[in-house]
Amino acid sequence: MQNDRKISDYVEAGGVAAAIFSSTGKIYTGVCIDTCCTLGICAERNAVFNMITNGEHEIAKVIAIMPDGRTGAPCGSCRELMVQLMPDTYQSIEIMLDYDNRKTITLGELTPEWWI
């Protein structure tokens, strides 16, 4: 899925890949799309939008695969979208922080105080 590639002189895709495991057990994927301006999108948000497009809106788990193949935490924009999507229950969303060591963390631990 990641398949890091140059689309044009101005767009690259697949540097980061993500998967969302929904509360119904379905998996939605996305890759980052980087542009020479601010029109790009993170892999995690792309996967969330894929989930929403398919009629779901509750996230159970998230995994992001970085360019080096390791897993990591979603960026602030991605965290903010997940919090706004599930303001009452976002704290329980599981994030795979380190796949090799099976380390997970909740979005509530990463984002303990929401700004609203």
Task: Give me Rg for the CA atoms of the chain.
Answer: 14
Confirm whether 115 is domain-assigned.
Answer: no
- Entry pTM: 0.92
Confirm whether 116 is domain-assigned.
Answer: no
Query: Rounded CA gap, 11 and 44, in Å?
Result: 18
Confirm whether 41 is domain-assigned.
Answer: yes
The residue among 1, 7, 68 whose CA lies nearest residue 28 is 1
Give pLDDT, residue 1: 66
pLDDT digits (tens, 9 = 90+) for 31-56: 999 999 989 999 999 999 999 999 99
Domain count, the chain: 1
Is there a contact between 83 and 90 (Cβ–Cβ < 8 Å)?
Answer: yes
Confirm whether 91 is domain-assigned.
Answer: yes
Residue 71 structural domain = 5-110
Give pLDDT, residue 86: 96
Confirm whether 13 is domain-assigned.
Answer: yes
Give pLDDT, residue 38: 85
Confirm whether 11 is domain-assigned.
Answer: yes
Q: Residue 33 maps to which CATH number? A: 3.40.140.10
Sign of CA dihedral 59, 108, 64, 10: positive
Query: Rounded CA gap, 53 and 28, in Å?
Result: 10
pLDDT digits (tens, 9 = 90+) for 52-89: 999 999 999 999 999 999 999 999 999 999 999 999 99
